[in-house]
Structure 1
Amino acid sequence: MWKHILLYAAILALGAFALQWLDLQRMARLYPQSVYDALLAAGFLALGLWIGARVLGRRHDAPPFDGNPKALAELGISPREAAVLAELAAGFSNKEIARRLDVSPNTVKTHVARLYEKLGATRRTDAVRRARELGLVE
């Protein structure tokens, strides 16, 4: 039974492909300039994407991000607090950070409160802005 269904499906797909091909041939004969324009536009699109990827792609010669260990030491930010800060900068909530770092939400709240003190911030956006200014997060 499945063989018959697959055979009929293959025949129908082949027929649909043939009809589409014939329709494309008819369109190419009736509107050759439009077909050429579409092919030219597709070529320029591909060229633009390729050039954009080359020009705007990541530079491999840039030094890897180190998180400014000197500023971390001066502010007294622990490695766990730095991990919480990175998650804050990524935009995660306390519950999401707790899940991702495998700690309790209360621990995350404590780390966030200490980060506020150390960075001189009053809210998350201030802390992330200050951390970016200091080069602690990307």
Structure 2
Amino acid sequence: MSGDISIEIIIAIIAITFFFIGAYLKAKTTKKEVDNPNQVDYKKIEELGISKREYEVLVQISKGLSNQEIAEILFVSESTVKTHVSNLLIKLNAKRRTQALQIAKELQILAY
């Protein structure tokens, strides 16, 4: 009977050890995320001349929405969205929407 109890104590100690290791690693990972928040550079947005509405369109593009879906969300016509997308491509010096998103992330004007 004493052999069974010592095995149970050893297993409990191992379990508690792994619990604390897991809690420590979780706290360390969470701290890194807080120390390095994904901040949007609003000055860069202003420097590029991106309007508030164009930025709203850019955010919706980052969510993978089509022009029609963006138009419905922002309560504008699809041609208005196309105009905003065209302006964004010019201002970000991009040829495609995906390239515009990549540039926006590199410039830190879009949270990801």
Instruction: Calculate the TM-score normalised by the size of structure 1.
Output: 0.57
For structure 2, the 5+ residue unaligned runs are none
Aligned length: 104
Higher-RCO chain (CA-CA 8 Å, sequence separation at least 6)? 2
Instruction: Calculate the TM-score normalised by the size of structure 2.
Output: 0.67
Question: Where does 1:84-99 land on structure 2 (aligned, <5 Å)?
Answer: 84-89=57-62, 91-94=63-66, 95-99=68-72
Select which of 31, 38, 52 maps to 1:79. 52
Partner Cα separation in structure 1 for residue 13 and residue 73 of structure 2: 48
For structure 1, the 5+ residue unaligned runs are 1-28
Task: Give the equivalent residue in structure 2 for 1:50.
Answer: 23
Partner Cα separation in structure 2 for residue 87 and residue 136 of structure 1: 14
How far the C-alpha of 1:64 sits from its partner, in A, is 7.5
Q: Which amino acid aligns with 2:50?
A: I
The structure with the largest alpha-carbon Rg is: 1
- CA RMSD, aligned part only? 3.1
Question: Where does 1:59-78 land on structure 2 (aligned, <5 Å)?
Answer: 59=34, 65=39, 67-78=40-51
Task: Give the equivalent residue in structure 2 for 1:133.
Answer: 106
**CA shift in 2, pair 1:76/1:47, >3 Å:** same
